[in-house]
Structure 1
């Protein structure tokens, strides 16, 4: 017999009735605020074409590495879930793949994915029974029927979710045609891009050779000379600003920065281009490029996001068959104090520069990140990210950084997702956790209710707008360095 889907209104609020009542009151102030999503990986073509999504499997399961990494850990083959490989989309029947997922939905109990998906099932699609092997066909058919309607096209969902701004992520070697098409369409939804140069910065990235060739073509510069390479970045950053970008994003293996002279940088660049690529040289070049990107941000105003600490493609066999971003990225120990010192020594006291730091290494919260952000005017702390985008992860973040960095050296929440339908669910979790955290402050008489009411709105809405300069026009023609 199908079990009811119960999605309680008090989820994630404290068990103590007094504190829970305060959390409810605070959450009511932010529940319906517009969503600011300043960092994510949704596909801009969804919004440029506004074509209907295909089916439940291809929308909710096959693109979501949070889901299939769990299923893979239980011995389920990715091809049976219709996850695309390097050879393309497998010919697995979508209904069969969905049933396999539904039969194993119990694996997600107590995980963030359970919260996100049941929000989508309950609030977006209106289901009142749980997903299971018994209800798999009902889910598949009803979701597909709704996806075929105009109300479930990407732009309609964007409006329904009350999204004020959504940022995608593109590389300097990639086209911005979909962003131009969105603007030319006359649609009022604000979808912007972010500048992610990793593929043309990291000589150890398997995309590097092809990306550099494309970088040269789209920028019109000689990217194989040091001066031309830097000018190509300036040119593409201006293109991105014209397409709405307010930020850059850097997913380096470590937080290392460097402060080489121009001659040293050029010599290193040319040595790497000639094929003398060692891990040490590749790391030093990535480190120098963070400093170069920071200098460019002083010219054009783009906010820097540094997302270090992921060991990419840990499962080599899976990478060779399926490519990157298939759930095999693993957090690594990450050091910030010495790593950032060259960049901060050069530019860290200039309040015109804004750098948002993220981590997958929670041991750095109170020891390194909070003291750094609590001192340098250039630094802010990004929210709990990726593996820590969870109720417990968010609460650990607040508890460990607030005492040193405060709340206003953080930037609210961003969802960092490819899963479009999960965006309101993820923001709802963040708003509930922040309401619970502040409710405890009020209950313990560490903050009065009026202060908490102001703060919860700031965390949900004002801080991300300020941190990402979403109300500040940037120049699309930065000065040359």
Structure 2
């Protein structure tokens, strides 16, 4: 009878040389570089952790609600193998009862943990289990109860409260992401705690600039109520957005974030922009016009960033909610977003012709379309002073994805037109693991350059420090 490897149990060990080159000479260089930067503080300038965690500083409830339910990397894999989201405790919009036994949900996850072999999720989760909770056996159906009980037991301790974990993880700064209408009550609650400079917000105005949203007009009206501006007029609308940006800055924000379907930008006249805004507000705009409006708003936001100094992040190219049945039953962010081809050279030109030569403007570009790295993004960032390249993102936030990024952009954009690493995650406990993977891969890449005599080891040490710590602080204007 063939041995069933799905449930085989073994020691959970993290090899000290994981992700380093197999060649001994290059590996030894990577080891030395890694020792130089491995203990540097973590700067997490873009992510989606819940600010309530840090404001309330309450103990987390249980292993399932902390590690599984916020992590769409986990349940998209399980769903792909035929496991129902209802069985994983994912709430339905129609109120149909779903599995509520957190132990049972964790058991389902453990029984299928083998599915994550070879994925970055396996690396992150194993690191959390081993380094954060001290678990020493691999997760299987047989060890599921032990895992669940051990994790829950530790989550009750004071040292596992969110702020204590921030300190334990050596997180110097973490940024959450909130919509333009958010009252930032949780960030306000942090003031005076000493953590208000460690946990900051990011301004994401998609809720009031995306005219394809069913709630766009209602959101624009709410924007007017919040700010006292006449948001039914073009100038009042822009004034309201400036006011909200200032409000976010009062709560620590140094950056904005824009999750548009494409990278299209526009530079319309004031008259044409105002007319387009009115058509969008009235629900009379075509799909091409709502796309044009989003493009105009990227250019408007770049102008506002030049005024107030906020770094601008553009995250285009995700086909959101590709599985319409899942979206209708469960809502967004359920693992059904898919990368799409994205064009940058022509689409960004209107914005770049207006603001791209401004050295005081910081625009960070991300992509899910890796074919654009060498052809479009590296040449753009290697020329325009306003542009920098964000790290390998989302589906490509993996050892292989990070290596592809470095190999394709470095020869044209160099290291100093990139901005270090950001984890872009809801999975709080995985943040140290994600940053460690990035540090190891950067050391691996740099070690290859040293071995080929393209950099001295001293230069590589300096670059490793820049990629880990200095570049991210510079790009996001963090003191």
User: 1:91, 1:214 → 2: CA distance?
Assistant: 36
For residues 122-141 of structure 1, the aligned pairs below 5 Å read 122-141=130-149
1:314 corresponds in structure 2 to 322
- TM superposition score normalised by structure 2: 0.97
7, 12, 18: which is aligned to 1:5?
A: 12
Q: Does 1:54 align with 2:61?
A: yes
1:35 corresponds in structure 2 to 42
Q: Does 1:114 align with 2:122?
A: yes
274, 285, 301: which is aligned to 2:293?
A: 285
Note the residue ranges of structure 1 that are not aligned, 5 or more in a row. 472-481
User: 1:85, 1:421 → 2: CA distance?
Assistant: 26
175, 184, 205: which is aligned to 2:183?
A: 175
Q: Following TM superposition, by how much is the alpha carbon of 1:179 offset from its aligned partner in structure 2, in angstroms?
A: 0.6
2:423 corresponds in structure 1 to 415
User: 1:85, 1:104 → 2: CA distance?
Assistant: 23
**Does the Cα contact within 8 Å between 2:180 and 2:203 map onto a contact in 1?**
yes
Q: Does 1:76 align with 2:83?
A: yes
Taking structure 1 as reference, are residues 297 and 187 closer, same or farther at Cα in structure 2, changes over 3 Å only? closer
**Deviations 1:328-350 (CA, angstroms, capped at 9, x unpaired):** 00000000000000000111111
Taking structure 1 as reference, are residues 189 and 355 closer, same or farther at Cα in structure 2, changes over 3 Å only? closer
For the residue of structure 2 that corresponds to 1:36, the secondary structure is strand
**Deviations 1:82-127 (CA, angstroms, capped at 9, x unpaired):** 1233256834210000000000000000000000000000000000
For the residue of structure 2 that corresponds to 1:362, the secondary structure is coil
TM superposition outliers: structure 1 runs of 4+ over 6 Å: none
**Deviations 1:421-466 (CA, angstroms, capped at 9, x unpaired):** 0100000000000000000000110000000000001000000000
Q: Following TM superposition, by how much is the alpha carbon of 1:226 offset from its aligned partner in structure 2, in angstroms?
A: 0.7
**Does the Cα contact within 8 Å between 1:350 and 1:377 map onto a contact in 2?**
yes
User: 1:419, 1:84 → 2: CA distance?
Assistant: 18
Q: Does 1:265 align with 2:273?
A: yes
252, 269, 276: which is aligned to 1:244?
A: 252
**Deviations 1:385-436 (CA, angstroms, capped at 9, x unpaired):** 0000000000000000000000100000000001100100000000000000
Q: Following TM superposition, by how much is the alpha carbon of 1:212 offset from its aligned partner in structure 2, in angstroms?
A: 2.5
User: 2:301, 2:142 → 1: CA distance?
Assistant: 53
**Does the Cα contact within 8 Å between 1:174 and 1:214 map onto a contact in 2?**
no
1:161 corresponds in structure 2 to 169
**Does the Cα contact within 8 Å between 1:298 and 1:352 map onto a contact in 2?**
yes
**Deviates most, 400-409 or 220-229:** 220-229
Q: Does 1:85 align with 2:92?
A: yes
1:22 corresponds in structure 2 to 29
2:4 corresponds in structure 1 to none
**Deviates most, 434-443 or 188-197:** 188-197
For the residue of structure 2 that corresponds to 1:32, the secondary structure is coil
1:146 corresponds in structure 2 to 154
Q: Does 1:376 align with 2:384?
A: yes
Note the residue ranges of structure 2 that are not aligned, 5 or more in a row. 1-7
1:223 corresponds in structure 2 to 231
